[in-house]
Amino acid sequence: MEKLNGGRLRIGVSFLAFGLLNNLLYVVILSAALDLVGNNVSKGVVLFSNILPSLLCKASAPIVHLNEYSPTKRIHLCVLLSFVGMQWVVWSQKVWLKMVGVAIAAVSSSLGEVTFLQLCHRYPSTTMAFWGSGTGLAGLLGSSCYLALTVYIGLSVHTTLLSSSVFPLLILVFLYFVLPKPEYEPVSPPSPSVAGDTLLPISIAGGSGNVAYKRGGLLRYIEFVLRLWKPYFARYMFPLFLVYFSEYTVNIGIAPTLLFPLGNTSFKQYRDFYPAYQTAYQLGVFLSRSSIALFEIPWFPLLSYIQFGLLVLMTCQSLFMLFTSVHFILFLFLVEGLIGGCVYVNVYHSVPGSSRQEKERAIGIVGVSDSTGIFLASLCSLVLEHSLCSYQVSHGREWCTLP
C-alpha cells in the first residue's frame, strides 16, 4: 500500500509539473502581449500568431493518429520547440519576427497539451485533476510573476522573458526521474467493421477511412471530419468552443480598453491594468481546474452561455463605463476564469470512451474546439480593440492611447 501511495504521489506531482511547465510560456507570452507589440498594434496579433499554429496542430491530431506516436518523443519535441521559440522572441527586434517565435512556442504548447491529456488516461483517474491544477497554476504564476517582475520589481521585459525560457527543460526531469512508467495498452489499428454513429467513429478514424478521404478529395475530407465531430459536438465541442471564444475575446480584444483614471487606482501606468486583469483571470482558472478532484459539474454546457454573457457585459463596460470600480472589473475577470477553467477540466474529464485508447482518440478530436474558439477570438480582437479604443477617444476617454 505504501508503494502504491508513493507511486500515486509521484504521478500526481509529475502531472502537476507537466501542466505548469507546458502552459507557463503560453501565459507569459499573452501577459507580455502589450509589451511585445506596443500601443499601436492590436494585442490580437499576438493571440493570432499563437493560436493559428495551435489550431493546425490540434486539428491534425486525430487525422494523423497522434496517439499512436511515442509520447516520449513528442515531449522531447515540445521541450525543444518551447526553448527555441522563446529565445527567438527574446532576441528579435521586429514585431513580425517576434511573432514567428510566438508561433514556434505555440506549436510546442498545443502538441504538449494533446500529448499530456492523452497520457492522463494511462494513469489513475485522479491524474486529470493534477494536470488541471498544473495548467491553472501556470496561468496564475505566469501572469502574477510577470506582473510582479516587470511592474513592482522593475525588471526589463527582455530579462523576464529570457529567464522564463529555461522552465520547459524541467519537463524532462519529471519525465525521467519522477513519473512512474504506465502499463501501456498495445496500440492496434481500429477495426473497420465498427461503423456508423457510434460514440467514437472508429471506422473512419482508422487506416481505411484515411485512404477513402484522400481519394475523394476535399468534399470527402470534409465529410470525414464532420463524422469525426458528430458524436462529440453538442455536448463537448461547442461548449468548449464558446467558452474559449468568449473569454479570449474579452482578454485580448476588450481588456486593454477597460481602463480607469490612474488617480482612482493603485496603478502607476495604464499598461498595468492589463497584467492585473490577466492575473485575476488566471486565479479563477487555477481554482476551477483544481476542483475536478473534489466534484464534477455535469451541466458545464450552461456555463459556456454564461461566459458569453460576460463577453457582452464587458463590451458594454468598455463602451459606456457602466461600473466605476476597477475592483469590480477584477472580480468579473475572476469569475470569467472560474467558468473557463471549470468547462475545460470537466469536458476533458468526462469525454467518453470504452477504453484508454478510445479516450485518447476522443481527446484528439475534441481538442480542436478550444483552439478554434481562440482563433476566432483573435480575429475579432484585431478589429474589436481598435474599434472600442476609437469609440472611447471620440467620447473624451483617451486612456487607451496612453502608455
Can you tell me the mean pLDDT for 268-279? 88
Can you tell me the mean pLDDT for 73-80? 94
CA distance 141 to 104: 22
Higher-pLDDT residue of 311 and 45 is 311
pLDDT of residue 342: 94
Higher-pLDDT residue of 255 and 55 is 255
Out of 28-42, 112-126, 129-143, least confident range:
28-42
Which CATH number applies to 2-180+232-401: 3.30.70.20, 3.20.20.210, 1.10.10.10, 1.20.1250.20? Answer: 1.20.1250.20
pLDDT of 188 above 60 = no
Higher-pLDDT residue of 211 and 271 is 271
Does residue 61 contact residue 110 with C-beta atoms inside 8 Å?
Answer: no
**pLDDT single digits (tens) 161-187:** 898 889 999 999 999 999 998 755 544
Can you tell me the mean pLDDT for 18-45? 83
What share of the chain in percent tops pLDDT 70?
A: 88
Q: What is the dihedral of CA 40, 46, 47, 51, to 10 degrees?
A: 150
**pLDDT single digits (tens) 344-364:** 999 998 888 767 778 888 888
Does residue 339 contact residue 286 with C-beta atoms inside 8 Å?
Answer: no
Specify the domain boundaries for CATH 1.20.1250.20 within the chain: 2-180+232-401
Residues 217, 219, 223: CA angle, nearest 5 degrees: 115
List C-alpha distances in Å: 27 to 83, 134, 318.
Answer: 15, 13, 24
Rg for the chain, CA atoms, rounded? 21
pLDDT of 393 above 90 = yes
Higher-pLDDT residue of 330 and 275 is 330
Concatenated DSSP letters for 234-270? IIIIHHHHHHHHHHHIIIIIIGGG----GGGSS-SSG
CA distance 365 to 110: 13
Q: What is the 3-state secondary structure (H, E, C) of 12-58?
A: HHHHHHHHHHHHHHHHHHHHCHHHHHCCCCCCHHHHHHHHHHHHHHH
Does residue 330 contact residue 166 with C-beta atoms inside 8 Å?
Answer: no
**Mean confidence (pLDDT) of the chain:** 85
pLDDT of residue 65: 67
* 0.85 exceeded by pTM: no
pLDDT of residue 158: 87
